[in-house]
Chains A and B, each alone.
Chain A
Amino acid sequence: MGQGSRARILIGKAGLDGHDRGVKIVARALRDAGFEVIYTGLHNTPEAIVETALQEDVDAVGLSILSGAHNYIFPEVVRLLEEKGIGGVTVFGGGIIPKEDVEYLKTKGVKALFEPGVSTDEIINWVKENVTPKAL
């Protein structure tokens, strides 16, 4: 696998949402595809997500939200990443997110949002193409 395979990806659950079937599948699929995956577990605040992103020096943050809180959490994570000086980290995600909210969240700096039914290969390919590991 190319360079992209060594990118460090934080896969996270933020907010109170407990739906973690999808996020665990994505974490495992990305790991199996050769990425370094850090999974946060459930129930993190946006602050905790960003703190972990900083400590783990990740190249991308992927969040799964199925609780309807996406319009608050995604922009808050993007804002906090910038505030901490790591605004270059790619933010993407998935969950139950209506179309009009997808458009809104893209204007807020979320690079991609995957809808239910997407294959893990599509996510892996997207990450390969869109997340570049930092030069050492």
Chain B
Amino acid sequence: MSVDENEIERLRKAREDWEKDYGSARKREADFTTISGMEVPPLSTPLDLNGFDYESRLGFPGSYPYTRGIHNSMYRGRLWTMRQFAGFGTPEDTNRRFKYLMEHGQTGLSTAFDMPTLMGYDSDHERSKGEVGKEGVSVSSLADMEVLFDGIDLEKVTTSMTINCSASIIFAMYLVMAEKKGVSWQKLRGTLQNDMLKEFIAQREWISPPEPSVKITVDIIEFCAKEVPQWHPVSVSGYHIREAGSTAVQELAFTLADGIAYVEEGVKRGLDVDDFAPRLSFFFNVHNDFLEEIAKYRAARRMWARIMRERFGARSPKSLMLKTHAQTAGASLTAQQPINNVARVTLQALAAVLGGTQSLHTNSMDETLALPTEESVTVALRTQQIIAEESGVVNTIDPFGGSYVMELLTDRIENEAFAYINKIDEMGGIFRAIETGYPQKEIADAAYKYQRELDTGIKTIVGVNKYNSEGEVTIPTLKIEEMVETGQIEKLRELKRKRNNKVVRAKLSEIVTAARNGDNLMPSIVDAVREYATLGEICDIFREVYGVYRDPGYF
């Protein structure tokens, strides 16, 4: 956007005149920063982008640096995948919800597991009491996995699974389940979250300390590169970092720092960067601040492309492309006046689409109260369909590209995020930073600052600290029956009686050997779950061999 000298002079004068008037113009007593506290100029003009080089900063969709999108034709070629995160109760309950969502036009599956599954405990474990099927679906063995995907064509659907410290086991169950259905691993498509670094930073589901945890993550990356080539073995996730209260810049910076660490670990393992980097994917939050969020997605693509090319020498264009899933911000939803959440989700989803996401989950209006009902999840899915098929924003690629303020914000977010990444590099990398509690404390500080801004009314949440209503609107919520827990425990106990326990013990000891030898754990885990070894039994091996991580409890 180069402008000739005379024109610049004229513009500068005109802007000075405008600024003079603006100084004395009427202005509301309001805070004009983004939700992350970033200053936004009252007006941007071509002067802000003087010297802006279109080709190097934006380029074309499908080409370096991918600011405008990773695909040539973007949503004219293919819409994003509408992928609602779902899981509750028994595998039967969730299987029914999966089918319901598919019948209503959802185009990909996304599985939410319950806390015991996420933390590596079977449903019959003492620590699982009161938690089975509550925050997701309960899966303790291959038998549960078989029910979960019963009647679902794995060649036609892509499946995302939010699972981390126990990802190797859940993935092994998925692979064996597919094998038993006669579907080749070559054809399986989907994503494991499997991002352990962000667990220590934000989501906080773990078994063992960071090093062995990431070792297993990299085992899965290596295994997929050879055996399950269409699978995304890691979804490097900023979502939870943001939910924990970070700013947009922190979300972006810590996520890319985690991504850098996975690439480094893969390279250390002897893999060629271009053999596994194309299968890495990302997962970002999409929050309320509309312009900041669109800028964040654009900056993310440009940054990753540069990191992969300059830092890792990647050559394959696919290694340079930041593919991402987006989810609207759960923490932005309110328990008060819950129907307002539909409006929030709409704005957030629109920002994700204008930011060029490949896949999207829209939260349901009732998610601050409970897991979503069928009615509320339908509204959430319909919201995506309305954006896709009624709003018209999909007709042109990166509609905000070239907006003065959008380019300004994209540049600023990129610069500030790179400053964080440089700081983490200086600390010795993300492992070291996590050890000192640096990202954890930065996030806790940002969360506390924002809460104080709400408490003092600097920032607004409609229906919570402003525009409160007398008389509460209540909406129906989903209730998980206690029977789920007793039923799952009974099924598991029966399975443990019926399976060939001698073979199971032998297979489990092969995992112990692989773990002690530092071998890739995936082959032995696959063999063990095939014999119905349970998730908890295998995680007990992790606890035994690698030790247990304890929360340092920063606040």
Contact = CB atoms under 8 A, between A and B. Distances in A.
Interface stretch (B60-68, B99-107, B446-454): B446-454
A99 B29 CA distance: 37
Contacts of B130: 15, 69, 71-73
Contact of A115 (B335, B371, B477, B551): B335
Given A68-B480, A99-B474, A41 B553 contact: yes
Interface string B422-453: 00000000000000000000001001100110
Interface residues of B, number: 46
Contacts of A67: 115, 131, 134-135
Nearest to A24: B555
A81 B168 CA distance: 39
Contacts of B455: 119-121
B550 interface: yes
Contacts of B452: 120
Given A18-B205, A39-B553, A119-B465, A68 B131 contact: yes
Interface magnitude class on chain A: 20 to 34
Interface in A12-36: 15-21, 23-25, 27-29
Given A98-B369, A116-B368, A41 B551 contact: yes
Given A16-B131, A39-B555, A117 B464 contact: yes
A43 B131 contact: no
Given A15-B131, A68-B135, A42 B444 contact: no
Contacts of A42: 204, 551, 553
A31 to B, nearest CB: 8
A125 B61 CA distance: 54
A96 interface: yes
A119 B451 CA distance: 8
A45 interface: yes
5 nearest A-B residue pairs (beta carbon):
A72-B130, A41-B553, A68-B134, A18-B204, A41-B551
22 contacts: A16-B128, A16-B205, A21-B244, A24-B444, A24-B448, A24-B555, A25-B447, A28-B448, A28-B555, A40-B553, A41-B551, A42-B551, A69-B130, A72-B129, A72-B130, A96-B370, A98-B369, A116-B334, A117-B336, A117-B465, A120-B451, A121-B455
